[in-house]
Structures are given as C-alpha cells and as structure tokens.
Amino acid sequence: MSAPVPSYWEDTATPDESGARPLDGDRQVEVAVIGGGYTGLAAAYRLAGVHGVDVAVLEANRIGWGASGRNSGFALTSVGKVGLDERIRKWGLEAARASVRLGVDAVETVRELIRSEAIDCDAQPEGALTVAHRDERAPELQERVRTYREVLGYDGVDYLSREHLVHEGYLRGPSAGGGIRFRTGFGLHPLKYARGFAKATARRGAALFDRSAVISWERDGSVHRLATAGGTVRARKVVMATNGYTPEHLHPYFRGRMLPAASNIVVTRPLTAAEWGAVGMATTQVYSDTRRLLFYWRRLPDDRLLFGGRSGVFDTPAALARRRRWLEAAIADKWPELAGIGSEWFWHGNVGLSYDLIPHMNTIEGDPTVAYAMAYLGSGVALSTHCGGLAADLVMGKAVPRDTPVTATEIPRFPLPALRKVYLAGAYLAYGIEDRWR
Ligand SMILES: Cc1cc2nc3c(=O)[nH]c(=O)nc-3n(C[C@H](O)[C@H](O)[C@H](O)COP(=O)(O)OP(=O)(O)OC[C@H]3O[C@@H](n4cnc5c(N)ncnc54)[C@H](O)[C@@H]3O)c2cc1C
C-alpha cells in the first residue's frame, strides 16, 4: 500500500467514515469492482443500490487515493480531448450532439448525487470558464460558442470579451483575452466528495475493502478469482475502475491501452483582498485556458489560489521540484502582481489518456462479464461518476446509450505500447513549443 499523498485536500478533508477495511479471508460476490475512486464507487453504488446485487470494491490504497482524491475538483461537461469540429466530422452530427449531452448529464449526475446523499463537499455555485490565454485566441472561442449554439443545439455557453471578464469580476491580467462561460460545471472538494460518496455506497450495501490490492486475476470456469494479500474474492462479474493507475499485468485486455500522465497542483497562501482584486476573480467558479498543455485554477473557499497544469514524465525529487517552480512561475506570468507568492502545497497524480483521446466505457471484447470505464483525459470528476454507473448497468446486462464512441467503441491499444512514455515526452515538447507561439 502507498501512503496518502500530502495535499491541501488531505489536510482539509473530513475522515473516511465509510467503514472500508482490508479484505481478511475469502468472499463470494456477484460483482467485484477493482479501484476505489469515483468510477469504482459509482459502479458499486449503482450495483448495490439499483441492481440490488452483492458487490465488493477492492482498492489497493485508501478510498480516493488515486486521482479522485487529488484532482482540482472541477465537475465539468468536457468529454475527452477531441474538438467539436473534429467530433462532427469524424462521428457525425448526431453523435457530436450526444457527446455534449453526455457531458451535461455527467455534471447533473454529480449534482444529484450530492443532493440526494447530502454529501458535504463544498460544492460551489455553477459556472466554468475557458479563457483565451492570448487575445488572438479569443475569436476561436467565439466560434466555439457559435458551434455549440447553432450546430450542436446547446445554449448553455456564453462568450465573454476581455472587458466582460474584467467588469463582471471573472478575471484580469495579460492572459485573459476573452472566454467561454459554461453555465453547467462547478467546483467541489474532491476528497470530501470521494469519502462522502464512499459512505453513501456503503450505506447502499456495498462492501468496501481498502488496502487490498488485487495481485492476480484468474478465471475458474464462469468465476473470476481476484487474489489480494488478505484473501480472495470470487465474482461472476468484474468492473475495472483503475484509470491512470491501471496495472499492465492483471488482465491481458488492459495491457497497452492506457497512458498515465502526471497532472500537478500548487496551492498558495490565502490571497489578500488587494491581490484578488489584481487577479480580478470575485468568484469561486473554475477556470482553464486555451493552451494545448492547459493551466487550470480556482479560488478556494478559504481564499487560496489553486493552480495546476500537466507536465513531467519522470517523478524524481529534482523533477518534482522543477514542476513546482514551473507552476509558481506560471502564476506570476498570468498575474504579475503575484510574482514570488510561492506555494504551501504541491502534489501530483495520474490522469489516464487513451490513444484516441476519448474516454471509454464498455465490456471487454468477447467477455460481457468484465466492464470498464476509464481514460477521462484529465476531465473525469463528472464523467467517472456517470460512466461508473453505466458500467454497472452494462455488466448487469442492461442496455446503455450507445450514441457516442465513448460507449459504442472499445478502448484502443496504443501502437508500440512500450513507447508510450516517449509519445508523452514528444507531445509535451511539441505542445510546449506551440503554446509559446500560439
Ligand atoms: C492533479 C489532477 C487534477 C485533476 N483535475 C480534474 C478536474 O478538476 N476535473 C476533472 O474532471 N478531472 C480532473 N482530474 C481527473 C480526475 O481526477 C479523474 O479522471 C478521476 O478521478 C478518475 O477516477 P477513477 O475512479 O476512474 O480513477 P482513480 O481515482 O485514479 O482511482 C483508481 C484507483 O484504482 C486503484 N487501483 C489500481 N490498481 C489496483 C489494484 N491492482 N487493485 C486494487 N485497486 C487498484 C488505485 O489505487 C486508485 O485509487 C484530475 C486528475 C489529477 C491527477
């Protein structure tokens, strides 16, 4: 087991009251879920609560140890990294429209869960912004709003000019060249959400086992045998919910299909009123920018700035220290008044990338008893909550919407998977250069 990752979220969360404990002895269940993040919890919540079956969640570390307890807490409508025009061109108009609905449904799933289970996770008012990091990128955002409204039939987006951003208390600074405001999307405390979700899942009757890594997965006729150090779970069905921490060795299907990539976060001391005035953010709505390697940020309820971005292929102490300095420097680039502010917390975690840059929820080829949902490409708070539930339905043999490639196609294998880190390093280099000039 790995220790909890020190973070602002760990230091401000309420304890895990789900009753999760290490597996001790052998058990037989209808469905075993591997992974105790949002995907695994969502699957177990639905399996126990709606399908009424015996379910056990096996989590290698603590509940929410992975990306679910470390992310920036933006529940967004984003679906992967394929742009709107490309979705329309490649998937057709109906599937592109359905993908926008999927994103909105996912955020509504989270809101509804928080409401119905009374999860205390500091859910913020609705609103998520994508900001042009240079003035020249603003027309592209205007065009995107037009596509959403006129082509995709979605009017939950507004374009805000640089002047609007300033006057309405959204943002100031050299890299606030205009933006899209999504009316659906909000910030929450990710670890409080994970722990509240786990408690609700246990209340529905699911058995949660933490500190219980699955170390081998064998098939015994129609039964899956998942071995942990403390005992074995025998199950008729399995949901794989390991996203950016998917082991390569456990099941041959999952070999070479996921590319984990580090996303990094700093949290500053509380800013003064004058500093927030310089940043121009009078709101706790959540932000990202138009870079290929985008930065994301939010004003936390206690007036600290959370700021993050994706980079780094190796996690040596020197590399991690460089990433922290890189984020601190990026804050000063965006808001020169904050130069030298430093940070009180720094941590990172794995997001899961797929070769075709979209999330996937499906059963594995030739075996409807194994379902998975993964590869949220850094935007999985809402989608994992939604797709985990879909994976539960699918593994129970229920129909799920198959109207986008997210649920209609399988997760592809990377060509030459051994070179995945090389692809990542190459992409970072190319995107970094592009972001400098564009
Ligand atoms: C720094 C950072 C910032 C992010 N910010 C956002 C954001 O603001 N908005 C957003 O939408 N998304 C964000 N994401 C992505 C989002 O957090 C993820 O998409 C989401 O949490 C995925 O949930 P999950 O349950 O699928 O995976 P995870 O939460 O990663 O859980 C997978 C779990 O599987 C377990 N596991 C692995 N192998 C085994 C095994 N053999 N046996 C048992 N258990 C195993 C791991 O221990 C882990 O806990 C961010 C991610 C990071 C890292």
The DSSP secondary structure of 277-326, one letter per residue, reads HHHT--S--EEEES-SS-EEEEE-TTSEEEEEEE--S---HHHHHHHHHH
Q: What is the pLDDT of residues 239-273, one digit of tens each?
A: 999 999 999 999 999 999 999 999 999 999 999 99
Token pair for 84: 């709107």
Task: Identify the CATH number of the domain defined by range 8-71+191-257+356-417.
Answer: 3.50.50.60
The ligand 1 atom nearest the CA atom of 62: 49
- pLDDT at position 438 over 80: no
* Average pLDDT in the chain: 96
pLDDT band at 327, cuts 50/70/90?
very high
Domain ranges of the chain: 8-71+191-257+356-417
Q: What value does the mean pLDDT take over residues 284-303?
A: 95
pTM of the full structure: 0.97
The ligand 1 atom nearest the CA atom of 41: 25
Strand residues in 133-203 grouped as ranges (E): 157-160, 179-182, 186-187
167-170's contacts with Cβ under 8 Å and 24+ in sequence apart are 169/280, 169/281, 169/282, 169/283, 170/129, 170/280, 170/281, 170/282, 170/283, 170/285
Nearest CA to ligand 1 atom 53: 349
pLDDT band at 4, cuts 50/70/90?
confident
Indicate if ligand 1 lies below 6 Å from the C-beta of 38: yes
- pLDDT at position 437 over 80: no
Q: What's the 164 CA to ligand 1 centre distance in angstroms? A: 35
Q: What is the pLDDT of residues 70-122, one digit of tens each?
A: 999 999 999 999 999 999 999 999 999 999 999 999 999 999 999 999 999 99
Instruction: Render 138-154 in DSSP notation, one character per residue.
Output: HHHHHHHHHIIIIIS--
- pLDDT at position 434 over 90: no
| Predicted local distance difference test score (pLDDT) of residue 2 | 82
Residue type present at position 286: V
Query: Is 281:306 a contact under the CB 8 Å cutoff?
Result: no
- pLDDT at position 436 over 80: no
- Distances in whole angstroms, Cα of residue 142 to Cα of each of 14, 84, 131, 138, 247: 41, 13, 11, 6, 41
Nearest CA to ligand 1 atom 25: 37
- pLDDT at position 426 over 90: no
Q: If you search the block for the tokens 């940070």, which residue do you land on?
A: 343
Indicate if ligand 1 lies below 6 Å from the C-beta of 312: no
Q: What is the pLDDT of residues 197-226, one digit of tens each?
A: 999 999 999 999 999 999 999 999 999 999
> What is the spatial distance between Cα 259 and Cα 353, in angstroms, rounded to a whole number?
5
Q: What value does the mean pLDDT take over residues 399-412?
A: 97
DSSP 3-state of 106: helix
Among 38, 45, 117, 106, smallest CA distance to 76 is for: 106
Q: What is the pLDDT of residues 164-197, one digit of tens each?
A: 999 999 999 988 999 999 999 999 999 999 999 9
| Predicted local distance difference test score (pLDDT) of residue 57 | 98
